[in-house]
Amino acid sequence: MALGLAAAATWFKSSYSNDSGGNCVEIAELTGRVGVRDSKVPGGPVLLFGAAAFARFLAGGVRD
């Protein structure tokens, strides 16, 4: 992925995240894909998922 694409993206942090150094991720929509990165290392690597794959991932994490 082009570094500029991730740098220019609008990243969103979980509403469960806080500023006390917890383990959280951020996500961003990147041209039909979803980028996921470590919120503590915003300049670090970005994992890319297709939109459908990311939706399946989220559906698997839903609790009743």
pLDDT for position 64:
57
Enumerate residues 6+ apart whose C-beta is below 8 A from 31: 5
Residue 52 confidence class, pLDDT cut points 50, 70, 90: very high
pLDDT for position 49:
92
pLDDT digits (tens, 9 = 90+) for 6-50: 788 999 987 777 667 667 889 999 888 999 998 888 888 999 999
- 14: number of CA atoms within 13 Å, CB side? 14
pLDDT for position 14:
76
pLDDT for position 3:
60
